[in-house]
Amino acid sequence: MFDTKELRENIERILKTDYGKTLAKAQTHEKYNALSKAIMGTIVDNWDETEKAYSTGKAAYYLSAEFLMGRALGNNLLNLGIYEEIKELLKKMDININDLEEIEEDAGLGNGGLGRLAACFMESCGTLNLPVRGYGIRYSHGLFKQSFKDGFQREEGDNWLKYGDPWSIRKEDEAVIVEFADEKVRAIPYDTPIIGYATRNINTLRLWKAESFKDFDFNLFNDQKYNEAVEDKNKAEDISRVLYPNDSTEEGKILRLKQQYFFVSASLKDIIRQYKKNHGIDFNKFPEFHAIQLNDTHPVVAIPELMRLLVDEENITWEIAWDITVKTFSYTNHTILAEALEQWWNGLYKKVLPRVYEIIEDIDRRFIMELLQKGYDSEKINSMAIIYKDMIRMAFLAIHGTHTTNGVAQLHTDILKFQELRDWYDIYPNRFQNKTNGITPRRWLALCNKELSQMITALLGTDKWINELTLLKELEKYLEDEQVLNKILEVKSEKKHQLAEYIKIHEGVEINPNSLFDIQIKRLHEYKRQLLNAFGILDLYFRLKENPEMDIVPRTFIFGAKAAPGYIRAKGIIKFINEIGTLIGNDPQVKDKIKVVFVQNYRVSYGERLFPAADISEQISTAGKEASGTGNMKFMLNGTPTLGTFDGANVEIVQEAGEENNFIFGARVEEIEEIKESYNPKEYYESNPRLKKVVDTLIDGTLSDGGTGMFEELYNSLLEGASWHKPDNYFIFRDFMDYVKTQEKVDRDYRDRIAWAKKCLMNIANAGKFSSDRTIQEYAREIWNIEPKKI
């Protein structure tokens, strides 16, 4: 039994020692910190015991530039099994737990699916008692905070640490030194507990902060050269200051390269230090105790860095070091987009990491010799070389320098094997695997949708589904039970009302909770086709104007997305959608039938409200472009049918829940492969008046881009192309009519409420496959070769 009396005493003590305040005078963020620190005090012994248990056998290490953790308090209380107890304790202290949850800043140390996947994986590893440690960067500022001004995206610093971080511990005595050609910095580890569900095990996420060896130069300061006095300090701290700093200049690129090397080098030195402590200096056994997963290409510099550490610092021969390296590392590929397969100009490596570059050159030279021995011609060798035309191809280095490369959905993996990376698959067929992504059901159902969770537990007679998600399959027996189906609709309505109230408070916009909530929330990128959604809305608007009596279900279109600060076209799409929202909102003839809301600063905690409230999930990327998606899984788990293309994990969602319970449209991968060379979007544009009318709003004055030229550039990219891609590169025109007709089917089907509830129930009941617990068990068994260690 949890000692609430002792916890209350600790909360009040922390308020006095940290803030010099009583409970009555403490501010909300101070109460939040005090509660969080008090909870930390209760788990430290288990955390220490877990670390000792994991140190004896094989462990895995997950290297990722992003960990989009979101808020910690609610999730940690849920996983500890004390959420309701703490809620009641706080109530007695005249504190509303929701106020404390709301005051917590999202740990926004990620950009999207890549970082959120890493967070779900960490939580599943803890829940499954698997010896896995995460490694990344403790950015002092996250990606950025987004707001809109006149419909344009505005960015400001995301100071998530402004109230401190009670959920991490600085480990000064475990700092390491990271060296670049022009500077040397200290890497300070901050450890965050990863609390598994219904277990005593506490795993660790270790994030590195870059610091200078001295705070400031006293002599320079004394000479009144104040800026120069802190120059080294600022330069060092810049490395861990911001996630994905703008790299449009060489200085920006150097900073990004330093970030990648910084956390990779620090992590490897940390792992080697622990290995020596526990197992001595015989590195032949290193892969028997360590499996290191490279989450995308950002940490791939770990391959030559481990070689450097083994060869230069541990005096191991090249051949043995390479064998150790390949046996230790595995690589997750997250994209098939050519522009996203990371490459580095070798001049930067020579400038910043000269010895690492020498090692990459040696790896490349040996690989080319291997290809020559296999009889490959020069053209094929050039297409596969790790260094070609002064560019280092990080994905190729990753495949060559690891024992396993995995895709993140079956379709994605097949495209890698048989199209994009076919030459590599031919050489290393046994290295390629699929690991379909998953999401943690704790945060994405048990925490964010308590109403649906309670209903599921009541229907199944157990809450074991929370960590055995396949048990949801038993819900199918209620498919003809109208009482259950009506209850599903009631829960959805309640979540929609909650979201409407939240949007009213945070966006200043009133939406109709009885309308159909059509939601597209994800990173803003052209291939995700928010623009197709926008064109569909405009088409509906124009049809309503032509026929005001047209019978439609009132619909609220909700967007959430951030565009990278340097991604001008993505920013143009945001402005376009906001202009559509203004046009519709100012038109009394249609404003009660359709509404468009673009929520600001979309993040994990906003997602926790949006996913449960959605009636339809927009997953409309060009087929073959989305590696997997995980937002699609979060919607599915919360009982939302997918409106989407046959892309990424949508394919598997439909396989599990049935195409009749979702809405699939658009060209499939095979068709796009057939038409991509001959595709002429002008034919669609000129032959379809509805399409032409919505596309022309980019240039005919219907909507204003404030004189920036953004809309005209968008228009030209669709019809004329751009320097780096063909016209309508993502086949929006090809899929437009299919999309709007499928939206009409959504409208028709939604009217039959019981039939719609069956679709919702079938999605919930068949979401079991998409638990990150399943994904992680596959990693542990088939890639890492590690076993659970329950304390």
Q: What is the pLDDT of residues 24-44, one digit of tens each?
A: 999 999 999 999 999 999 999
**Which residue has tokens 């905070």?**
145
The backbone region for 151, taken as left when phi is positive above 0, alpha when psi lies in -120 to 50, beta otherwise, is: left
The C-alpha atoms of residue 565 and residue 569 are separated, in whole angstroms, by: 10
Residue 315 has pLDDT above 90, yes or no: yes
pTM, two decimal places: 0.97
Contact present, 639 and 760 (Cβ < 8 Å): yes
Please compute the mean of the pLDDT values over residues 458-470 and round it to a whole number: 98
Percent of residues, the chain, with pLDDT higher than 90: 93
Residue 1 has pLDDT above 60, yes or no: no
DSSP 20: S
Please compute the mean of the pLDDT values over residues 633-640 and round it to a whole number: 98
Q: Which of 31, 298, 400, 523 is catalytic?
A: 523
pLDDT digits (tens, 9 = 90+) for 469-502: 999 999 999 999 999 999 999 999 999 999 999 9
The C-alpha atoms of residue 561 and residue 602 are separated, in whole angstroms, by: 6
Please compute the mean of the pLDDT values over residues 182-201 and round it to a whole number: 97
Contact present, 269 and 309 (Cβ < 8 Å): yes
| Residue 523 bears catalytic tag | yes
Contact present, 434 and 409 (Cβ < 8 Å): yes
Please compute the mean of the pLDDT values over residues 761-786 and round it to a whole number: 98
Residue 58 has what pLDDT? Answer: 98
Helices (H), 517-600: 530-546, 568-585
Contact present, 564 and 570 (Cβ < 8 Å): yes
| Residue 443 bears catalytic tag | no
Q: Which of 298, 571, 634, 759 is catalytic?
A: 634
| Residue 412 bears catalytic tag | no
| Residue 630 bears catalytic tag | yes
- Token pair, residue 323, equals 């064998």
Q: What CATH code would you report for 442-669+730-776?
A: 3.40.50.2000
Residue 339 has pLDDT above 70, yes or no: no
pLDDT band at 591 (very low <50, low <70, confident <90, very high): confident
Q: Which of 528, 595, 625, 758 is catalytic?
A: 528
pLDDT digits (tens, 9 = 90+) for 253-265: 999 999 999 999 9
The whole-chain average pLDDT of the chain stands at: 96
Residue 768 has what pLDDT? Answer: 98
Query: Could you tell me the CA-to-CA distances from 710 to 530, 716, 730 in Å, in that order?
Result: 16, 10, 18
Contact present, 626 and 526 (Cβ < 8 Å): no
Contact present, 634 and 607 (Cβ < 8 Å): yes
Q: Do domains 4-437 and 442-669+730-776 have the same CATH topology?
A: yes
Mutual orientation of helices 28-54 and 73-80 as an angle, nearest 10°? 50
Name, in order, each residue with C-beta under 8 angstroms of 412's C-beta and a sequence gap of 6 or more: 333, 336, 434, 626, 627, 628, 648
3-state helix, strand, coil in the chain (%, to 5): 55, 15, 30
Please compute the mean of the pLDDT values over residues 604-629 and round it to a whole number: 97
The C-alpha atoms of residue 707 and residue 276 are separated, in whole angstroms, by: 62
Q: Which of 308, 522, 529, 625 is catalytic?
A: 522
Residue 321 has what pLDDT? Answer: 98
Query: Could you tell me the CA-to-CA distances from 578 to 322, 459, 540, 703 in Å, in that order?
Result: 53, 42, 16, 10
Domain boundaries, the chain: 4-437, 442-669+730-776
Number of CB atoms found within 10 A of residue 325's CB = 25
Residue 511 has pLDDT above 60, yes or no: yes
Residue 688 has what pLDDT? Answer: 98
pLDDT digits (tens, 9 = 90+) for 159-178: 999 999 999 999 999 999 99
Superfamily of domain 4-437: Glycogen Phosphorylase B; (3.40.50.2000)
Q: Which of 133, 258, 334, 555 is catalytic?
A: 334
Query: Which of 335, 468, 484, 347 lies closest to 395, judged by CA?
Result: 335
